[in-house]
């Protein structure tokens, strides 16, 4: 029975895995048996993260590229599949925040967040699905957010991107499920990473998050590992187009 969660022999690319939630996803599925490829913007960041996992005895290597650059993604995926292994699993995880109220939001901030948090999943997802489809198997996991259905002030760009990512997850499912590709989302609540430092370091916002979350605490990146292994493994072979909230119950309290 436990074999259905086994990731031995599987190879996964995790985007934006140099730190934070992506690093936790990579470490978690590597602990579950997978070989992981760490993506981030710079070789230095991706190499350092992969080296950290290798020191823990895990199978990790690095592939730096910008997830919004289609040509770079295509080159990197071709190189990984030639030099390492065909990809069985993709985590579209890279993301950014550019906070501003809607009336003050520069167009550049809007476009940067939509590109990085939404269009990148189309770019990298399409690149890898083209290879998964003839192989008749694949797992794609998109990092959504509690804000995909609950916008907050000053993150309209982010909420719109993550809401779009939920629909992209379902659209990928509708087109690719027949090729035995499962596409699902993980929607974290408020998790302690560098991205959320402006919130966790602000006493008022920190207190609001702790009080509104039914679990009465911030999420830790490790809280996502169970969901990551489930959606990467054979245990989820008939789960498709679903978004799994890992949020301490916050979805029902906001």
Residue 20 structure tokens: 């934070």
Judging by DSSP bridges, how do beta strands 138-143 and 11-14 pair with one another?
unpaired
Q: How far apart are CA 128 and CA 65, in angstroms?
A: 14
Tell me whether residue 195 or residue 253 sits nearer to ligand NAD (CB atom).
Answer: 195
19 binds ligand NAD (CB under 6 A): yes
By CB under 6 A, what part of segment 127-186 binds ligand NAD?
143, 145
Q: According to CB under 6 A, which one of 66, 119, 157, 200 is a site residue for ligand NAD?
A: 66
Return the ∠ at Cα 146 (arms to 89 and 252), rounded to 5°: 125
User: Can 158 be counted among the known catalytic residues?
Assistant: yes
By CB under 6 A, what part of segment 70-109 binds ligand NAD?
93-96
Q: How many helices (H) and strands (E) does the chain have?
A: 9, 7
Q: According to CB under 6 A, which one of 163, 188, 241, 248 is a site residue for ligand NAD?
A: 188
Q: How far apart are CA 16 and CA 31, in angstroms?
A: 19
Q: According to CB under 6 A, which one of 67, 156, 183, 227 is a site residue for ligand NAD?
A: 67
Helix (H) / strand (E) element for 48: namely helix 43-55
Which residues are at the interface with ligand NAD (CB under 6 A)?
15-16, 18-22, 39-41, 66-68, 93-96, 116-117, 143, 145, 188, 190-191, 193-196
Residues carrying an active site annotation: 158
């Amino acid at each position: 029975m436990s074999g259905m969660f086994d990731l031995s022999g599987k190879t996964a690319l995790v985007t934006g895995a140099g730190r934070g939630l992506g690093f936790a996803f990579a470490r978690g599925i590597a602990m579950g048996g997978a070989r992981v490829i760490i993506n981030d913007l710079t070789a230095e960041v991706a190499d350092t993260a992969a080296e950290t996992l290798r020191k823990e005895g895990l199978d990790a290597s690095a592939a730096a590229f910008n997830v919004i650059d289609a040509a770079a993604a295509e080159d990197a995926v071709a190189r990984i599949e030639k030099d390492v292994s065909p990809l069985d699993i993709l985590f579209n995880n890279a993301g950014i925040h550019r906070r501003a109220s809607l009336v003050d939001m520069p167009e550049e901030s809007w476009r940067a967040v939509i590109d990085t948090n939404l269009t990148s999943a189309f770019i990298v997802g399409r690149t890898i699905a083209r290879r998964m489809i003839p192989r008749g198997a694949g797992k794609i996991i998109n990092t959504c957010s509690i804000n995909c259905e609950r916008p907050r002030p000053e993150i309209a760009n982010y909420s719109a991107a993550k809401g779009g990512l939920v629909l992209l997850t379902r659209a990928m499912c509708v087109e690719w499920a027949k090729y035995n590709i499962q596409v699902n989302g993980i929607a974290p609540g408020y998790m302690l990473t560098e991205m959320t430092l402006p919130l966790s370091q602000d006493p008022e916002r920190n207190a609001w998050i702790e009080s509104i979350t039914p679990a009465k605490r911030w999420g830790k990146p490790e809280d996502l590992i169970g969901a990551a292994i489930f959606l990467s493994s054979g245990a989820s072979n008939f789960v498709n187009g679903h978004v799994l909230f890992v949020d301490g119950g916050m979805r029902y309290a906001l």
